[in-house]
């Protein structure tokens, strides 16, 4: 008779590790209840390593899958074959995956093929548009179809799952574990100086952009809008840690390198990034995680996407969907820079995505499951 669950946590990319680190750290506190195994696909190599350092985690196995400019099919087949081998070797009772990446979707499929139970952290996010975000909307729907346990962060996400026919007893609304990660990092932020020297008195706009559906013209528009903003406002500095995906990096450096008041940086570790987020006047992003973090620091977020699966920030009035049209981006940024009321309205409130207790709820849920 078994006395504890054998749980395998799988992560591949920067955001997966940020959002699974609190779950791993929580489960590690209860070795009498859980036998834990961490598997890194390393779909991201350097950006994953940055986060492993910050959270002081070490995977039990690292598949080192990333290749430069990888395609979705190449990545998917590598993850499927290699993760599947580890399942055969380790035979976990439960596999935990997070979000909507290729690592998450393919690992969930591989677990399903071996009839291993799948638990999905950050379940139920939907836009209803299979190409926005691409391929993430389909990735998370596939996971939603085959997962055994679903941990939606919000009521809206939980409702999405109910509408798709997931039985109530398999759903636990937990809050987003990213808020747990922020709480964990918070004490480490003080005393850190920003990675870039900012001129006192200037307003800083923090930018990130990496989504596949924004490759090509949208990315070009984003770059041109950033140039317009930097030329229009000499009291504004733009700080942009650039995602290493070659489709992003080449365009961004070609357009924005060596320009006044635009600072292009390498991807930052989590502490350095949050230090800058705290200093920002506003945030311009197409990221999922950044939308969830900004309300903790009361920062207005302009979302350079056509739709978001995170409507809570928009409903609370602290974020706004602005698309990727050059003029529109410039106009929306200008409104926040020039209109105090708009700025103030978007810089308040609490974080609608979680309360920092998500990983505890997840741990208690696993503890309540009956052992075979």
Which of ligand UD1, ligand UDP, none binds 293 (CB below 5-8 Å, type-dependent)?
ligand UDP
Residue 285 touches ligand UD1, criterion: CB under 6 A: no
Angle at Cα 141 formed by Cα 325 and Cα 26, nearest 5°?
Answer: 100
For 26, residues 6+ apart whose C-beta sits below 8 A from its C-beta are 359, 360, 362, 363
Q: 73, 66, 58: which is closest to 17 by C-alpha?
A: 58
Residue 136 touches ligand UD1, criterion: CB under 6 A: yes
Query: Catalytic site residue 263?
Result: no
Contact yes or no for 107/95 (Cβ under 8 A): yes
If you write DSSP's letter for every residue of 102-141 in order, what string do you get? HHHHHHHHHHHHTT-EEEEET-----S-TTSSTTHHHHHH
Q: Which of 22, 59, 124, 135 binds ligand UD1 (CB under 6 A)?
A: 135
Residue 70 touches ligand UD1, criterion: CB under 6 A: yes
Which of ligand UD1, ligand UDP, none binds 246 (CB below 5-8 Å, type-dependent)?
ligand UD1
Nearest distance, CB of residue 74 and ligand UDP, angstroms:
20
Using the minimum distance from each CB to ligand UD1, give the nearer residue, 75 or 322.
Answer: 75
To which H or E segment does residue 283 belong? strand 282-285
Residue 44 touches ligand UD1, criterion: CB under 6 A: yes
For residue 315, with 0-12 CB atoms within 10 Å meaning exposed, 13-18 middle and 19 or more buried, which class applies? Answer: exposed
Q: Which of 12, 289, 300, 352 binds ligand UDP (CB under 6 A)?
A: 289
Q: Which of 47, 142, 161, 204 binds ligand UD1 (CB under 6 A)?
A: 47
Query: Catalytic site residue 220?
Result: no
To which H or E segment does residue 256 belong? helix 246-256
Alpha-carbon span 291 to 312, nearest angstrom: 10
Nearest distance, CB of residue 54 and ligand UDP, angstroms:
8
> Which residue out of 93, 122, 286, 312 is catalytically annotated?
122
Residue 295 touches ligand UDP, criterion: CB under 6 A: no
Q: Which stretch binds ligand UD1 (CB under 6 A): 95-103, 255-263, 310-318, 355-363?
A: 95-103
Name the one residue in this structure whose structure tokens are 């779950």: 23
If you write DSSP's letter for every residue of 162-190 in order, what string do you get? HHTT--GGGB-----HHHHHHHHHHHHHT
Alpha-carbon span 166 to 159, nearest angstrom: 10
Alpha-carbon span 140 to 159, nearest angstrom: 15
Please give the span between the terminal C-alpha atoms of the chain, in angstroms, as a whole number.
7
Residue 334 touches ligand UD1, criterion: CB under 6 A: no
Residue 250 touches ligand UD1, criterion: CB under 6 A: no
Q: Which of 1, 2, 32, 69 binds ligand UD1 (CB under 6 A)?
A: 69
Q: 358, 306, 354, 342: which is closest to 131 by C-alpha?
A: 306
Query: Catalytic site residue 243?
Result: yes
Instruction: Kindly determine how many residues on this chain lie close enough to bind ligand UDP according to the rule CB under 6 A.
Output: 15
Query: Catalytic site residue 136?
Result: yes
For 43, residues 6+ apart whose C-beta sits below 8 A from its C-beta are 12, 13, 65, 66, 70, 75, 79, 101, 102, 103
> Which residue out of 195, 210, 305, 310 is catalytically annotated?
210
Q: Per this entry, what is the length of the chain?
A: 372
Nearest distance, CB of residue 319 and ligand UDP, angstroms:
14
Query: Catalytic site residue 315?
Result: no
Nearest distance, CB of residue 178 and ligand UDP, angstroms:
6
Which of ligand UDP, ligand UD1, none binds 70 (CB below 5-8 Å, type-dependent)?
ligand UD1
Q: Which of 38, 41, 78, 101 binds ligand UD1 (CB under 6 A)?
A: 101
Nearest distance, CB of residue 60 and ligand UD1, angstroms:
20
Q: What residues make contact with ligand UDP under the rule CB under 6 A?
A: 14-15, 18, 208, 210, 241, 267-268, 270, 273, 287-290, 293
Instruction: Please identify every residue annotated as catalytic.
Output: 100, 122, 136, 210, 212, 243
Q: What residues make contact with ligand UD1 under the rule CB under 6 A?
A: 13-15, 43-47, 66-70, 72, 75, 100-102, 135-136, 210, 244-246
């Amino acid at each position: 008779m078994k006395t504890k669950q054998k749980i395998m946590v799988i992560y591949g990319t920067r955001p997966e590790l940020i959002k699974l680190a609190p779950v791993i750290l929580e489960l590690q506190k209860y070795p009498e209840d859980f036998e834990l195994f961490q598997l890194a696909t390393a779909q991201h190599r350097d950006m994953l390593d940055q986060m492993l350092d910050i959270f002081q985690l070490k995977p039990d196995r690292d598949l080192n899958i990333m290749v430069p400019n990888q395609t979705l099919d190449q990545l998917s087949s590598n993850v499927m074959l290699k993760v599947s081998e580890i399942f055969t070797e380790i035979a976990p009772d439960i596999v935990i995956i997070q979000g909507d990446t290729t690592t998450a979707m393919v690992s969930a499929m591989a677990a399903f093929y071996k009839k291993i139970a799948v638990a999905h952290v950050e379940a139920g996010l939907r836009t209803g548009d299979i190409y926005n975000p691409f391929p993430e909307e389909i990735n998370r729907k596939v996971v939603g179809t085959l997962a055994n346990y679903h941990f939606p962060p919000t009521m809206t996400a939980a409702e999405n799952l109910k509408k798709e026919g997931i039985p109530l007893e398999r759903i636990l609304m937990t809050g987003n574990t990213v808020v747990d990660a922020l709480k964990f990092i918070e004490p480490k932020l003080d005393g850190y100086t920003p990675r870039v020297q900012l001129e006192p008195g200037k307003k800083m706009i923090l930018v990130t952009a990496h989504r596949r559906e924004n490759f090509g013209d949208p990315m070009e528009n984003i770059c041109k809008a950033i140039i317009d903003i930097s030329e229009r406002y000499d009291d504004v500095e733009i700080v942009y840690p650039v995602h290493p995906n070659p489709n992003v990096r080449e365009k961004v450096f070609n357009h924005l390198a060596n320009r006044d008041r635009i600072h292009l940086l390498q991807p930052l570790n989590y502490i350095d990034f949050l230090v800058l987020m705290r200093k920002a006047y506003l945030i311009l992003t197409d990221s999922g995680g950044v939308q969830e973090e900004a309300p903790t620091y009361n920062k207005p977020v302009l979302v350079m996407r056509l739709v978001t699966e995170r409507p809570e920030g928009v409903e609370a009035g602290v974020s706004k969907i602005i698309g990727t049209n050059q003029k529109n981006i410039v106009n929306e940024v200008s409104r926040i820079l020039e209109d105090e009321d708009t700025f103030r309205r978007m810089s308040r409130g609490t974080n609608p995505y979680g309360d920092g207790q998500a990983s505890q709820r997840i741990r208690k849920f696993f503890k309540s499951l009956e052992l075979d």
